[in-house]
Amino acid sequence: MEHQPARSEYKKVWSALSTTEEQARLHVIGVTEEAALEATGQETLKFLQESVGIGKEDVVLEIGCGIGRVGKVVAPLCQKWIGCDVAANMLSLTAQRLKDLPNVELVEISGYNLSSVVDASVDVVYCTVVFMHLEPWDRYNYVLEAFRVLRPNGRVYVDNINLCSDGGWKVFEDHRAFSPANRPPHITHNSTPQEIETYLRRAGFSDVQLRTDDDWVRASGIKAP
């Protein structure tokens, strides 16, 4: 097998996974057809609405926005949608797909922080289908960064596949079949609900809520004033 970048070399890993639009779509959510992509975006929007809510005055920031799967349905509902991603290829595809939306800003980030986003400037930060590709320390770094960039009363949402669910355990077992030398750097690492809850609490979020009614853990919290 040819030499692979380390998992934490996110820019290298994800630039290589998004060299064509088809590859990018497949690695984002496993579907290529636009209608299917939009349907999954609506599903994620439903979870956001039921946890953090999206209001028309809100500045909303997504960490790891991919090709704007979720941004396409969130941006029309808020004041500004900021899509951040480590891969320039992903951001170019988002720019094309969302070109008719006037309130979209795209930011290429290092993969470890939101350093170009100013403190207390955002109302909602969310990060979906990204934590499974990150090292645990980088998950927590993003939770800390979310706390920093949120305004008082700002809301955060993060998710991962739940290791403690039957579906999450199946993913774990399937991936155990890879020999250590052949594990792809972006291979899914699930989270326990306790891991995600701990990050939100340790970062300072209040009113931490966990949803575990399917194979996912979905967590939200508020930055108390």
Ligand X SMILES: C[S@@+](CC[C@H](N)C(=O)[O-])C[C@H]1O[C@@H](n2cnc3c(N)ncnc32)[C@H](O)[C@@H]1O
> Which residues here bind ligand X, judged by CB under 6 A?
10, 14, 27-29, 63-66, 69-70, 85-87, 90, 109, 111, 128-130, 133-134, 138
In the complex, the smallest distance separating the C-beta of residue 3 from ligand X, rounded to whole angstroms, is: 19
In the complex, the smallest distance separating the C-beta of residue 105 from ligand X, rounded to whole angstroms, is: 15
* For ligand X, the closer CB: 7 or 80: 7
Helix (H), strand (E) at residue 187: none
Give the pair of three-digit tokens for residue 215.
């194979």
In the complex, the smallest distance separating the C-beta of residue 17 from ligand X, rounded to whole angstroms, is: 7
* For ligand X, the closer CB: 114 or 150: 114
* For ligand X, the closer CB: 134 or 200: 134
Query: Computed from CA positions of residues 41, 82, 132, 140, in that sequence, does the dihedral angle turn out positive or negative?
Result: negative
List Cβ neighbours of 170 (8 Å cut-off, separation of 6 or more).
none
Q: Which amino acid is at 26?
A: L
Strand 59-63, strand 80-85: pairing: parallel
Q: Phi, psi at residue 107, to the nearest 5°?
A: -130, 125
* For ligand X, the closer CB: 128 or 165: 128
Contact 188, 126 (CB under 8 A): no
In the complex, the smallest distance separating the C-beta of residue 10 from ligand X, rounded to whole angstroms, is: 4
Distance CA(172)–CA(157), nearest Å, equals 23
State the DSSP code for 141.
H
In the complex, the smallest distance separating the C-beta of residue 29 from ligand X, rounded to whole angstroms, is: 6
Q: Which residue is nearest to ligand X (CB)?
A: 66
